[in-house]
């Protein structure tokens, strides 16, 4: 969920490309690239991630999540969401489709979840949800309007149903480091995820010991979007951090790999 945390606003450029590097315990573990195609009435976000460094020795993985939707007044309304993950030659896919009002109408999950390993999905709590990337688009629109982080979103990613809650923690001044291209004032948001179904019955030792999850958001490009510039999650086994390492604007319209 954290790796999908990309906020964006009404940038002047048609396309924004942001690159992130994530570390755990001081070691590089993951690289992520997010491409944002933005129109006046619609949006498309593509986030590609893959393990890197020491994590590849134990858990080699790559994935791509894509969301497309429209802006209805100030709401972000999804049309289609697709997620493809690859690990050890195995492929998992998720395709979610929505009607014009944003209500979920179909889901194709391959392979289907194993209910001996995950909790069942709650009945009646899936239709009125949004996908993870759309939740982040909606959060950004709040920030662009000066409404702060305080909000809760009902999210369904095809496998897991959870409530995503963000809490405003004020501002912080980030200093320049060799790991990040950003320095200056950033809004601090606490992230909380309340799992309601579809999650693993056996809790990860990393998740079980994780403390406060903080994401730092700012506007690194003049006239560009508000987006994450830093991430910190403390656990008993080490600290997870994420940093914005590059960002660019282009007039080239990015087209995702799934059919419209």
Q: Is 245 exposed, middle or buried (0-12, 13-18, 19+ CB in 10 A)?
A: middle
Backbone angles phi, psi at 235, to 5 degrees: -135, 165
Q: Supply 49's token pair.
A: 């991630």
Provide mean pLDDT across the span 66-91: 94
User: What is the rounded CA–CA span in Å between residue 134 and residue 253?
Assistant: 19
For the chain, what is the mean pLDDT?
A: 87
Band the pLDDT of 9: cuts 50, 70, 90: very low
Provide mean pLDDT across the span 43-66: 91
**Residue 255 lies inside a defined structural domain of this protein:** no
Which residue(s) pair with 80 in the sheet? 68, 97
Q: What is the CATH number of the domain that holds 155?
A: 2.40.360
Q: Supply 16's token pair.
A: 């924004």
**Residue 95 lies inside a defined structural domain of this protein:** yes
User: What is the rounded CA–CA span in Å between residue 221 and residue 202?
Assistant: 42
Place of tokens 């979920």: 104
* Tally of CB atoms within 10 A around 230: 22
**Containing structural domain, residue 209:** 2-250
**Residue 260 lies inside a defined structural domain of this protein:** no
**Residue 131 lies inside a defined structural domain of this protein:** yes
**Residue 259 lies inside a defined structural domain of this protein:** no
Q: Are 249 and 207 in contact (CB under 8 A)?
A: no
* Tally of CB atoms within 10 A around 243: 21
What pLDDT does 260 receive?
36
**Residue 52 lies inside a defined structural domain of this protein:** yes
User: What is the rounded CA–CA span in Å between residue 218 and residue 223?
Assistant: 12
Q: Kindly write down the DSSP assignment for every residue of the chain, as one continuous string.
A: -GGG-------SSSEEEEEEEEEETTEEEEEEEEEEEE-SSEEEEEEEEEE-GGGGGT--EEEEEEEEEEEETTEEEEEEEEEEEEETTEEEEEEEEE-TTS-EEEEEEESPP-TTTBPPPPTTSSTT-B-HHHHHHHHHHHHHTT--S-EEEEEE-SS-EEEEEEEEEEEEEEPPBTTBS--EEEEEEEEEEEEEESSBSS--HHHHT---EEEEEE--STTS--EEEEEEEEETTEEEEEEEEEEEEESPPP--SS--
Which residue(s) pair with 152 in the sheet? 165
**Residue 192 lies inside a defined structural domain of this protein:** yes
Band the pLDDT of 25: cuts 50, 70, 90: confident
Band the pLDDT of 207: cuts 50, 70, 90: low
Please state the domain count of the chain.
Answer: 1
Q: What is the pTM of this model?
A: 0.86
Provide mean pLDDT across the span 131-157: 91
Q: Is the pLDDT of residue 37 over 60?
A: yes
**Residue 212 lies inside a defined structural domain of this protein:** yes
């Amino acid at each position: 969920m954290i790796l999908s945390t990309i906020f964006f606003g009404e940038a002047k450029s048609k396309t924004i490309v942001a690159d992130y590097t994530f570390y755990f315990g001081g070691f590089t573990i993951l690289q992520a690239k997010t491409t944002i195609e933005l129109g006046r009435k619609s949006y498309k976000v593509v986030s590609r991630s893959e393990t890197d460094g020491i994590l590849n020795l134990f858990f080699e993985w790559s994935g791509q999540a894509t969301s497309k939707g429209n802006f209805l007044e100030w709401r972000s309304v999804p049309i289609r969401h697709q997620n493809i993950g690859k690990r050890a030659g195995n492929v998992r896919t998720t395709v979610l489709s929505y009607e014009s009002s944003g209500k979920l109408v179909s889901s194709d999950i391959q392979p289907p979840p194993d209910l001996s390993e995950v909790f069942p999905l709650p009945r009646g709590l899936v239709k009125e949800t949004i996908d993870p990337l759309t939740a982040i688009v909606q959060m950004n629109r709040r920030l662009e309007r000066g409404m702060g982080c305080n909000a809760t979103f009902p999210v369904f990613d095809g496998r897991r149903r959870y409530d995503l809650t963000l809490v405003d923690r004020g501002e912080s001044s980030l200093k320049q480091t060799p790991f990040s291209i950003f320095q200056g004032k950033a809004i601090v948001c606490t992230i909380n995820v309340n799992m309601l179904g579809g999650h693993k019955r056996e809790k990860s030792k990393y998740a079980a010991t994780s403390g406060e999850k903080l994401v730092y958001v700012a506007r690194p490009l003049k006239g560009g979007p508000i987006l994450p510039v830093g991430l910190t999650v403390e656990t008993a086994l080490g600290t997870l951090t994420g940093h914005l390492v590059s960002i660019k604007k282009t007039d080239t319209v990015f087209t995702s790999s799934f059919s419209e």
